[in-house]
Amino acid sequence: MIKNIIFDIGNVLSDFCWQDFLKDKGFDEAMIERIGRASVYDEDWYEFDKGRLKDEEVIDLFIENDPQIADDLHRAFDNVEGMVRLKAETFDWLNSLKAKGFKLYYLSNFSYKAETQCPKSLSFMPFMDGGILSYKVKLTKPDPEIYELLLSMYSLKPHECVFIDDTPKNVDAAINLGIKGIVYKNHEQAAADLDKIVVEK
């Protein structure tokens, strides 16, 4: 019986809309792609979410990837307000699940910078019964340790949980621990898949 639903945040409850965010800052498509290659597409991006380096140290890593656009990278990421934005359907979805008696948790690769500069993207937090933002524990998905930590913190049994994430390898890591998993593609699909799992006996 499913009692607990665990959500990723970026691209599930909120949109990680970094390309629109950079467009709003005045970058053209070619520069957005170049900035992406030096940052979001690179493994160094996870350093924001791991919380082990200062923000300026992470941006320095991006600059090492493409020194010629150092000023652009600073302009892009010194302030990330608007990079993560709450999805329109989030409140109604969480409210309906709470009304059905489910406990709701979050497990997200999320940086201090995003939490403090995009607070509206986390305005659903009053609905949640707990969770983990990666930077606070210096771990990121799909490391099994971060899933095990969430289960331990809230005394959750894996077979009573469903995990929803837009990244397949993160869902696979949850499934390997006995948690049911849903790969989020869009809200309608994820909500329908969740309904199917919940009614399974």
Smallest Cα–Cα separation from 148: which of 1, 6, 36, 41?
6
Of 77, 101, 127, which residue constitutes the final position of a domain?
A: 77
| pLDDT confidence of residue 121 | 97
Domain count for the chain, please give it. 2
Domain shared by 102 and 195, yes or no: yes
Tokens linked to 7: 């959500």
Q: Evaluate whether residue 57 is within a structural domain.
A: yes
| Domain coverage including residue 42 | 18-77
Query: What CATH number does residue 145 fall under?
Result: 3.40.50.1000
Chain mean pLDDT for the chain:
96
Q: What is the C-alpha to C-alpha distance for residues 31 and 29, in angstroms, rounded to an integer?
A: 5
Q: Evaluate whether residue 82 is within a structural domain.
A: no
- Only one residue has tokens 């020194």, namely 67
| pLDDT confidence of residue 52 | 94
Domain shared by 163 and 176, yes or no: yes
Domain shared by 60 and 100, yes or no: no
8 A C-beta contact, residue 105 and residue 130 = yes
Of 34, 53, 77, which residue constitutes the final position of a domain?
A: 77
pLDDT mean by block of 10 residues, the chain; 201 residues: 97 97 98 98 94 96 98 97 97 96 97 96 97 97 98 98 98 98 98 90 42
Domain shared by 149 and 54, yes or no: no
| pLDDT confidence of residue 201 | 42
For residue 78, give the 3-state DSSP assignment: coil
**Residue 66 burial (10 A CB sphere; 0-12, 13-18, 19+):** middle
- Element counts in the chain: helices (H) and strands (E): 11, 7
**77-96 tens-digit pLDDT:** 999 999 999 999 999 999 99
| pLDDT confidence of residue 199 | 77
Rounded to 5 degrees, what are φ and ψ at 119?
A: -60, -30
